[in-house]
Amino acid sequence: MINSNDINKALSLISSNIHRTPISSSSYLSEKFNSNIYFKEELFQKTGSFKIRGVLNKLSNLNKDALKTNGIISMSSGNHAQAVAYGAKINQISSTVVMPTYSTKSKIEATKNYGAKVVITNDNLLETVKNLQKKSNAYFIHPFDDDYVIAGQGTLGLEITQDLPQVDHVFTGVGGGGLISGICVAMKEFNPKIKIIGVEPKGADGMNQSLKKGKAIELDSIDTIADGLSAPFIGEKNFEIAQKYLDELITVSDQEIISTMWLIYERTKLFIEPSSAASLAPIIHNKYKLPKNSNPIFIMCGGNIDKQKLLEIS
């Protein structure tokens, strides 16, 4: 299991190639919930989400000369795909990304525009990657179940501890588990009393099912508007960290996510994707009661929303 030293090292390696994203507050929400409400604005990160942190840390710990021969390969519904493509581009490495058929058009196009070869499939993503690897010998960069990727995502939590050390609650969406596991290590080792709450869509509750069964599971089906939280399975390493550190996991409906997304836009003008809105949904819909005068932060993990999807939920 990684530790805070791994995350500190990751930040030193990737800081020159990422944005140190801002933290904002909301006077309206703070007054409404008798707390000091903060947002970590990762939607302003390069490629539009936190995913670039993990990809760049992984690439920083690999032999790039060797990678230039066969390139890299990964799988993603969108945000990690863009991060892989961008990370490969700035390191002058070829990349291939396997994406499911339900990926949004804008994320597919953005991945291609960063220079990746995109393979769209309705088959098992990991099996498709393995089959392509046999032909290309490309190096596989896992989207979440990898120590370097987890440490990279944990740099987001490290920044919060440095910029806003009084935070006592952290809320973030959960997909495959990369972000939540990185945040858990970074922030629990800084302050063991901090409460970390994961939030999942009901239609993609892999971590919820994993914690109930005591092991990382693969979902039989996925049905959620929050495509950034639609990982088909939970990573083994991610599950181990979440099982150790996570204080609570809450599931929310797509409608709760959508209404929260519009509330955030109306009150903060942050134009986020549904995956970001999931973090605040438990508060808005009375699924978690904040202690009075607490200092919670909600992770706005990305802002890559498809125009067509936006029209559908408007």
Structural domains of the chain sorted by starting position, each given as residue range(s) with its CATH number in brackets: 4-50+146-313 (3.40.50.1100), 52-140 (3.40.50.1100)
Task: Please give the share of the chain, as a percent, with pLDDT higher than 90.
Answer: 92
Structure confidence at residue 308 (pLDDT): 79
pTM of the model: 0.96
- Residue bearing the bigger pLDDT, 48 or 104: 48
| pLDDT at residue 314 tops 80 | no
* pLDDT-based confidence at residue 78 (cuts at 50, 70, 90): confident
**DSSP H helical ranges for the chain:** 4-14, 27-32, 51-60, 64-70, 79-90, 105-113, 125-136, 147-163, 178-190, 206-213, 236-245, 254-268, 274-277, 281-284, 307-313
Apex 209 CA angle, 158 and 145, nearest 5: 45
Specify whether the CB–CB gap between 264 and 240 falls below 8 A: no
pLDDT digits (tens, 9 = 90+) for 124-160: 999 999 999 999 999 999 999 999 999 999 999 999 9
Cα 183 to Cα 14: distance, rounded to the nearest angstrom? 17
Cα 103 to Cα 13: distance, rounded to the nearest angstrom? 31
